[in-house]
């Protein structure tokens, strides 16, 4: 299944095709494709070129995968456990050049993850980003140092059979994509003053 964005203005095809399914095939992702995801993340922008992102990759069948899956909330475990790859996304809390708090570390990590997700589309893959996980449990299970913060988990893989999803998830899978109108999120003059878009 494909869900193309109902966009008002022209946008890049990769952005148009990106969506967050829950139906994953258990087919393994080729190593070269996986490497391309992380290569894309490597080139994301960051404050002072700090590159505060770190990733722990778990491939299905590995102990690492099981630990990442265990950190997810039960509802996410139901569907994410079908995906062949789970990636724990981590941000360094402090700058390396002066050890001061990096206030944009999670923002920069988000950009790197977005680059990965767009590259996934380019590679014929799908992805689903999750905040529904226990960051402390992930840190314990995967021995993440205290100066790093587990922020989210991303499932990557090939699209699977949506009919195998539980009913509530299947309904969400089939719904049309929706977004706020641009004039609700883009302002001019002052906050809340709608733009002409």
Q: Domains of the chain: which residue ranges? A: 23-161
Q: What is the predicted pLDDT for the residue at 5?
A: 85
8: DSSP letter: S
Per-residue pLDDT of the chain (197 residues; tens, 9 = 90+): 778 788 889 999 999 999 999 999 999 999 999 999 999 999 999 999 999 999 999 999 999 999 999 999 999 999 999 999 999 999 999 999 999 999 999 999 999 999 999 999 999 999 999 999 999 999 999 999 999 999 999 999 999 999 999 998 999 899 988 999 999 999 999 999 999 99
133: DSSP letter: B
Do the bridges between strand 126-130 and strand 85-92 make them parallel or antiparallel, or are there none, so unpaired?
A: unpaired
User: What is the three-class DSSP state of 6?
Assistant: coil
Q: What is the predicted pLDDT for the residue at 85?
A: 98
Q: What is the predicted pLDDT for the residue at 93?
A: 98
Buried b or exposed e, range 40-56, using 16+ CB within 10 angstroms:
bbeebebeeebbbbbbb
CA count, 13 A, side-chain hemisphere, 86: 29
In whole angstroms, give the CA distance from residue 159 to residue 194: 38
Q: What is the predicted pLDDT for the residue at 4?
A: 79
From the candidate CATH numbers 1.10.357.10, 3.40.109.10, 3.40.50.12780, 3.40.1280.10, the one assigned to the domain spanning 23-161: 3.40.109.10
């Amino acid at each position: 299944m494909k869900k193309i964005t109902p966009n008002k203005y022209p946008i890049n095809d990769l952005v148009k095709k990106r969506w967050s399914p829950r139906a994953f095939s258990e087919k393994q992702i080729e190593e070269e494709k996986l490497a391309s995801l992380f290569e894309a993340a490597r080139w994301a922008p960051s404050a002072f070129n700090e590159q505060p992102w770190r990733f722990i990759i778990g491939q299905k069948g590995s102990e690492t995968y099981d630990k990442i899956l265990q950190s997810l909330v039960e509802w996410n475990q139901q569907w994410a456990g079908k995906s062949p790859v789970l990636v724990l996304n981590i941000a360094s809390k402090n700058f390396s050049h002066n050890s001061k708090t990096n206030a944009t570390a999670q923002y920069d990590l988000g950009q790197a993850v977005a680059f990965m997700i767009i590259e996934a589309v380019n590679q014929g893959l799908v992805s689903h980003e999750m905040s529904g996980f226990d960051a402390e449990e992930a840190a314990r299970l995967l021995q993440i140092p205290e100066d790093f913060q587990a922020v989210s988990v991303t499932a990557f893989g090939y699209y699977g059979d949506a009919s195998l999803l539980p009913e509530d998830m299947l309904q969400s899978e089939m719904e049309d994509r929706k977004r706020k109108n641009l004039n609700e999120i883009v302002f001019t003059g002052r906050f809340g003053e709608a733009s002409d878009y």
